[in-house]
Amino acid sequence: MGPDVVRLQGILDVEIDAELLQLALTHRSYAYEHGGIKHNERLEFLGDSILGQAVTVKLFRSFPDLDEGELAKRRASLVSTVALAEIARMIGLGSYLRLGKGEEQTGGRDKASILADTVEAVIGATYLSAGPDAATDLVLRLVEPLLVDPDRFGAAMDPKTSLQELAASLSLGNPAYRVTEEGPDHDKTFHATVVLQGEDVSTGSGTSKKTAEMAAALQAWTRLSGRAA
């Protein structure tokens, strides 16, 4: 078991089979460059289901006065790419990824889509290694910072609006977004930069323009609000 895997297990506070955890951290770009070895997308598929169930039950029990529509809205926020990427950044997950050279060179360690997918894969690996209870506990620990911090939770639900309101309160004017794209039509990656008063404040990436802008907005909100990224 490598030191990186041991360190990550300590951060996650759960024992995950070393090979499964390594697999959860393996992006398809790395797999293709190393002879087509296995990558994390099957674990991601599993983790997505576990994440959704755990969050649904948590919200149902924690907010007995909310109606179905509001519960669904909050669940969608907590399992969104933007929120999962925020969670990944909180625990420094990007530094543990196994990426291909192309993704490494284009900032893959901080791409919202890659980070979010890896969080789900780690949840899937936890389920297979330690069982459903441990996987649920992990999900709840990961999402807790968004649940206990109403402002951060609100920002994760609607980062562009939250950033606009915060920027206005700080007399910084309205945020502008500069977006670029790369890759073939069937597999594009978008990169967004938040600009305030003519200065670049933050960046974000995603598989759509909207997702990239949301990721960049959440990162800008996090910095301007004085919260640790």
Binding residues: 44, 117, 120
Residue numbering of the annotated binding site for Mg(2+):
44, 117, 120
Please give the positions annotated as active site. Answer: 48, 120
Question: Could you give the CA distance from residue 13 to residue 224 in angstroms, rounded to a whole number?
Answer: 30
| Per-residue DSSP letter, 26 | B
Residue of 88, 228, 219, 209 whose CA lies nearest to 163: 219
Amino acid at 17: D
Question: How far is 9 from 26, CA to CA, in rounded Å?
Answer: 16
Q: Which long-range contacts (CB under 8 A, 24 or more apart) does 74-78 make?
A: 74/153, 74/157, 77/153, 77/156, 77/157, 78/143, 78/146, 78/147, 78/156
**Sign for the pseudo-dihedral over CA of 138, 139, 141, 142:** positive
Torsion angles phi and psi, residue 195, rounded to 5: -120, 125
Task: Give the side-chain half-sphere CA count within 13 A for 12.
Answer: 26
Secondary structure element (H or E) that encloses residue 149, with its range: none
